[in-house]
Every structure is written in C-alpha cells, then in structure tokens.
Amino acid sequence: MHTLRRRRDARLSCSVNCVVLPYRPAGLWIRTKWSVTMTFLRRLGPCLAAVVLLSLTAGCGAGDGVSRGAVEGSVTFKGEPLADGVIRFIPTGDTTGPMTEAKIKDGGFRLSQAEGPCVGTNRIEVFSFVKTGKKIRNEGVETEEVRQIIPPQYNTKTTLNAAIAAGENTLPAFELVQ
C-alpha cells in the first residue's frame, strides 16, 4: 500500500500518480498527475494568453519602434490632378523601416504620423491604373483589364525622393509628365 501524507492545506497527497481506494472516505481528496497539470494550466493560462497576444501585436502600428512623420501632398499628371492612384514611400539609404503607401484621391494624399512614412529619405513611387474595357481570363476568372498610365520613371524606375522629418510634413507637389 502506498503512503498518504497530509499537506499543509489539510488535503491528502500521495507519493504515486494516483491512489485507488475501494471507498472514498469523507473529506479525502486525491490528486492525480492530470489534475495537477490542469490546475497549473488554469493558473498559467491567462499569462500565456497575454504573452501570445502581445507578441502577435508587437509589429503593428505606431508601436513598432519606427520613427514616422505625418505627410500630405498633391500629385498631378499631365498638368491635371491625378484622379485615383497610390503613392508609396520606400525607405532608402540609411533610412530603415517598412514601406508605406497612401491612396491618391482627386490629386491629394494624406497619412497620419501613426501610419506615415519613416523619418529620413524615402523613394517615391506613384501608380495609377485605368480600365481598358477589355475582359481577360486570369486563373479561370474573367476580370476587366487595366493598364498603368504613369510612366516607369515615376514608379518601377523612379527618380523621385522625399526627405521626411518627424512631425507634420507638407510635401511639394509631385508634377508628373509623360
């Protein structure tokens, strides 16, 4: 027979994983390895959940440790405000951090400091697509064809740069020509 010993909290514990008694005396509490593990996990569970949640959100938003600046500006193409498009800010040189992009609507764009580009020198890429009116099949799905209207010297082979400072930045107008 295994020995039972009384613990400080007035419960009985055993020296093996489980004790099987033919009867259950009143007030006798037998702990198995399983119940010890479950009690441990119940106490540790909220802490583990908090650690997992914090690690998943560590790279999001302004809390990513990157110094950013708010930006606003305008983009024209062939002398007219660009109706719809995207402007990308890609850190270059000694500037490090994630790429940021903003939607251009009616020639203007704006990003808050929390979502803005990294402080330092950024390469600027501008994209705008128009529908051609043709239908194309892509992986079995029929979609409307679009084409890039902005020349490559303003996107894939860009020569545009902007120096972003901490705080508010009003950038000079980007005047794109054919």
Residue range 1-56, pLDDT digits in tens = 445 555 554 444 444 444 554 555 555 555 555 555 556 556 655 655 665 555 54
**Are 116 and 145 within one domain?**
yes
d(CA 132, CA 143): 11
Between 42 and 150, name the one with better pLDDT: 150
Q: What is the pLDDT of residues 59-104, one digit of tens each?
A: 444 457 889 999 999 999 999 999 999 999 999 999 999 999 999 9
Say yes or no: 135 and 114 in one domain. Answer: yes
Determine the structural domain holding residue 143 and report its residue range: 63-176
Across the range 108-122, mean pLDDT stands at 95
**Distant-in-sequence, close-in-space partners of 122: CB < 8 Å, separation ≥ 6:** 89, 90, 91, 92, 95, 161, 162, 163, 164
Identify whether residues 33 and 83 lie together within a single domain.
no
Question: CA torsion sign, 104 to 110 to 116 to 119?
Answer: positive
Q: How confident is the model at residue 138 (pLDDT cuts 50, 70, 90)?
A: confident
* Pick from 63-67, 152-156, 165-169: least confident: 63-67
CATH number at residue 136: 2.60.40
Q: Does one domain contain both 92 and 15?
A: no
Residues 103 and 15 in one domain: no
CB 90 within 8 A of CB 99: yes
Q: Are residues 77 and 117 in the same domain?
A: yes
Last residue in a domain, options 32, 57, 82? 57
Structural domain total, the chain: 2
**CA–CA separation, 149 and 72 (whole Å):** 22
Same domain? 37 vs 115: no
Look at the pTM and tell me if it is higher than 0.75.
no
- Taking Cα atoms as reference points, which of 100, 89, 82 lies closest to residue 148? 82
